[in-house]
Amino acid sequence: MPNDQPNAGGASPMYIVDEYPREHYVPVATAGAYKHVLLAGTGGVGDTWICVRSPSAAAVASASETPAEEGGQIPLYAVKIPSMRKQDFLPQEITALQHVASIPAPTNRHIQKYVDHDQSGRSKDANWLASEAVIGCTLLQMIQAAGDMLTPLPKPLVLTIALQLCDALQALRDMDSQFSHGDLALSNIMLDLEERGDKGAPTVVVIDFGRGHSRTSPHEYDLDLSTFYRVVGKIAELQRDPTADQDPLWDSFVGFVASSNCSFDKAPYETFRTQFQAYGNKILDSMSEEDGEVMDAMLKEASKVMLKARAMAKEAVDKQNQD
């Protein structure tokens, strides 16, 4: 196994990404707690790396320091490391993730799961934050893959995403603090390919709570609700079922979303769910084999980075066990 320290060359790309150098490498920033597999993305605050937990004694003060397989899969973690000038942004996200961890099952499957964070006490800021990695794609990646493949989004996929996202945001709003995500971009909504529901539909997971906050009053403008309708409207536009004009319920769905987008007083989540839950379940239950194949191929294409991370992590741990 390569050592935990970054170097200029000769190291395995499994842990040292020479072609994408960064000021902070994960093993150094996390004091050996995690080893990076690959870079998942770069945002306004810093980098997010897909990692395995280090087997070293310095990793975590628990009995499960060695990467273990759960259900045949190696646990992967998304470790966010802020840039030097953005370290003061991380504490808000840590607090938000710890707060929303109280959302009960089964709805909590739609919320990013906090694991741990920098508690070194070296400064008032935090050097890193770890959460459970979602093996899948963002809605933005899904839309890009659909465009590259010239593939319309299957109607069942559009509806199940809309309804699951509705459940996630309703759960946040139902908290005593009336919690708001605050940044519901297409890149902050993921589809988990390893947690599938009926007909192989992916599980929607809301991530990146860096702007999460409690609403100051019930009358505060609900940004999440407004963004919800924009997101659903965007993916509904990409559905090009030639029989859609023969489906009055689909027309009603599209019209409802468009109307809410144009109105200041948005229809609440409860109204949306009441209107379309039964229809969404029916459409998903009756999804054709062809739609299922299209959905699966498109989501796998969109999830190439995370599926690669899964394979690379397995390779690394297998090599470690051999050594």
For residue 257, give every residue at least 6 positions away whose Cβ sits within 8 Å of its Cβ, in sequence order, or none.
162, 229, 232, 233, 236
> Smallest Cα–Cα separation from 312: which of 56, 7, 72, 38?
38
Write down the pLDDT at residue 122. 58
Write down the pLDDT at residue 166. 97
User: Which CATH architecture describes the domain 26-134?
Assistant: 2-Layer Sandwich (3.30)
Low-confidence spans in the chain with pLDDT less than 70? 1-24, 56-72, 87, 120-125, 216, 218-221, 240-245, 320-321, 323
Delimiting residues of CATH 3.30.200.20 domain(s) in the chain: 26-134
CA 318 to chain centre: 27
Delimiting residues of CATH 1.10.510.10 domain(s) in the chain: 136-302
Write down the pLDDT at residue 2. 37
Write down the pLDDT at residue 295. 94
Write down the pLDDT at residue 103. 94
Q: Class of the 136-302 domain? A: mainly alpha
> Smallest Cα–Cα separation from 111: which of 46, 177, 32, 169?
169
Write down the pLDDT at residue 28. 79
Please name every residue paired with 294 in a beta bridge, in sequence order, or none if there are none.
Answer: none
> What whole-number distance in Å separates Cα of residue 305 and Cα of residue 312?
10
> What whole-number distance in Å separates Cα of residue 190 and Cα of residue 135?
9
Write down the pLDDT at residue 41. 86
> What whole-number distance in Å separates Cα of residue 212 and Cα of residue 217?
15
User: At 160, which amino acid appears?
Assistant: T
